[in-house]
Structure 1
Amino acid sequence: MTESDITATDLNDRLTARQVVLIDVREPAEYAVERIHGALNLPLTTFDPAALPVGGDRPVVLQCGSGKRSAMALGQCRKAGVEVAGHLAGGIGAWRAAGLPVIRIDPATGAVRDVR
């Protein structure tokens, strides 16, 4: 892990305390199928660090499926001089592995489900 890596449990604690803004850099279809509660979607394919909600009282944390795309977005932010707190190490996969809840869409019914 690097200093910009944030664990799933640490991120959960920060989200629960409303201390961070979570940005999901996966594509809209991935985000629609499954996401972390409260995450905003800014896909990597059209990612613009200038569009991030930075400068407020809650720092930004980036997240993707495995940590690869969020690390790429983090690199883009650093190159652009936009400060973010880090990214979710292991992505939503690590989040699920930690037993933390996600929102999923049931493909058979379209129902929104809260899943652990």
Structure 2
Amino acid sequence: MTFQEILDFAGRHSMLAIALVGLTLALVYTEVARLFRPYKALTPAQLTALVNREDAVVVDLSASGDFEKGHVAGSRNVQASALTPEHKLIAGAKERPLVLVCRSGQGSAAAAAKLAKSGITHVHWLDGGIAAWQQAGLPLVKGRA
């Protein structure tokens, strides 16, 4: 396909061309914004490395019952509504990386954004949550921590 054929197609189907340009710009904006946000997504392997190398603090935002059914080893259960920069786990680990985990990754991403806006540095979240952890074949610990 030549450039002239593409221009001809865009001229005949202007709404499709506008939609394509709009979607492309939205994707580029989303990816650039993701690169520069103050909190970072982690894969299960990256979470494991961060815990092992930098003694990261892992906070699980799951409901107590879900936490007891299975959580990342060493994680602490904190309800999302109680998670503030003043919380003892966060205040006591200012220099260590903080990783937030939930069942799906959605709640922990929102909590990471909130903490980053409040000035907490080294904030991360487990992309995909506990579901991604299990899909990676990594073990969960049952019971209270």
TM-score by length of 2: 0.64
Deviation for aligned residue 1:79: 2.3
Aligned match for 1:6, one of 42, 61, 68: 42
Deviation for aligned residue 1:10: 1.0
- Larger helix proportion of the pair: 2
CA–CA separation in structure 1 for the residues paired with 2:86 and 2:100:
14
Structure number with greater Rg is 2
Aligned CA distance change for structure 1 residues 26 and 96 (closer, same or farther; 3 Å)? same
Residue 88 (str. 1) matches residue 118 (str. 2): no
CA–CA separation in structure 2 for the residues paired with 1:84 and 1:40:
17
- Larger strand proportion of the pair: 1
Deviation for aligned residue 1:50: 2.1
Aligned CA distance change for structure 1 residues 14 and 29 (closer, same or farther; 3 Å)? same
Aligned CA distance change for structure 1 residues 81 and 90 (closer, same or farther; 3 Å)? same
Aligned pair count reads 105
Deviation for aligned residue 1:63: 0.7
Gaps of 5+ in 1: 106-111
Q: Secondary structure at the match of 1:104?
A: coil
Aligned CA distance change for structure 1 residues 32 and 13 (closer, same or farther; 3 Å)? same
After superposition, give the CA deviation of every residue in 1:52-79 in whole Å (9 maximum; x if it has no partner): 13323x2111111111010111121022
Residue 10 of structure 2 corresponds to: none
TM-score by length of 1: 0.78
Aligned match for 1:26, one of 57, 62, 65: 62
Residue 72 (str. 1) matches residue 110 (str. 2): yes
For 1:29-40, what aligned pairs fall within 5 Å after superposition? Answer: 29-40=65-76
